[in-house]
Every structure is written in C-alpha cells, then in structure tokens.
Amino acid sequence: MAGSVNKVILVGNLGRDPEVRRTGAGDPIVSFSVATSETWRDKATGERKERTEWHNVVIFNENLGKIAEQYCKKGTKVYLEGQLQTREYTDRDGNQRKATEVVLQRFRGELTLLDSRGRGEGAEDGYESANTSFGRSSPMERPAAERRPAAASRAADIIDDDIPF
C-alpha cells in the first residue's frame, strides 16, 4: 500500500474534567477521557442493552487545549478528530505497560463543543458552544455563508427579492 491513514473521529461525553500538565518548555498537555455509547435491543429477551467504550484523549495543540481547559467539564458533549497513538511506559511497580490514546497534535486535530447554552454540565453561562469549532484550517470546512463572496451574497439577495411567493 502506498499510503495509510490514522484518523479517529469521536462524538461522546467527557468522563472527567480536563487535566493540564506542562512540558519542560512550558507547553501545555491537556488530557481527559471520553465515553462513547452504543445501545441495542437484545433479540432473545427484548431487553435494551448498552455498551460504553472509554477513550483517553491527549491534546498537544495549545489553542485546543485552552478551549478544553476553559469550557469542557465532566459530561460535556464533544466532537473530536485526532490520531491513535500507542506509547509504552513503566508503572510504579516497575511493570512495562502500553496505553493507546487519541492524540490531537500541535498542528492537527479538531475539537468541537456540542453542548448548547444552558444544557449539559459543561456549558458555561453566556457562552454559546453549539457547533463552535476550533482548529479548522480549510476554507471548505467553513459554512457556505462564510465561504460565499460578498458579490454572490448580494446577487442571491436580489434574486430572492424578485420571487413573488
């Protein structure tokens, strides 16, 4: 295979408040867990079942980290894009361990807060977080109204005014 893709998209709720640590250079590292749930009805019993998966998330992007730190709390619904990374470490007892995390890199990744004002534990008073995205870079990812040139917008307004119904 000539290339490969390592991309994770999650929509879920924070399982704990974001934790902020700093590197030796002072760069922030924000970490938290996200729960995703799947529900279904058991064919044999008709009983509703649910399975929850927990995902560890680490943000190295300073701007996204600030947003997570300020506006995300336990229970906040988020959309995020990142990459899977597995790291090895030694625990307190000297055992070798592996941890797989969803990582939002310094210049990659996306975090969108999905809670609207007044709903969910993570919404801040006076802050509208619904569908607010931070870290987008492509103009094609912006809403059409933001991409449309001013002349095209005026032309659309004129056309709408001429419709008699």
Domains of the chain plus CATH, in order, are 8-136 (2.40.50.140)
The more confidently predicted of residues 123 and 51 is: 51
- According to the model, what pLDDT value does residue 98 have? 95
User: What phi-psi label fits residue 135: left (phi over 0), alpha (psi between -120 and 50 degrees) or beta?
Assistant: left
Output the pLDDT for position 164: 58
142 or 6, greater pLDDT? 6
How many other β-carbons are positioned within 10 Å of the β-carbon of residue 76?
24
Give the CA distances from residue 78 to residues 31, 59, 124, in Å, rounded to whole numbers and listed in that order. 14, 14, 14
Cα 92 to Cα 7, 9, 56, 100: the distances in Å are 31, 32, 20, 18
More confident of the two residues 74 and 130: 74
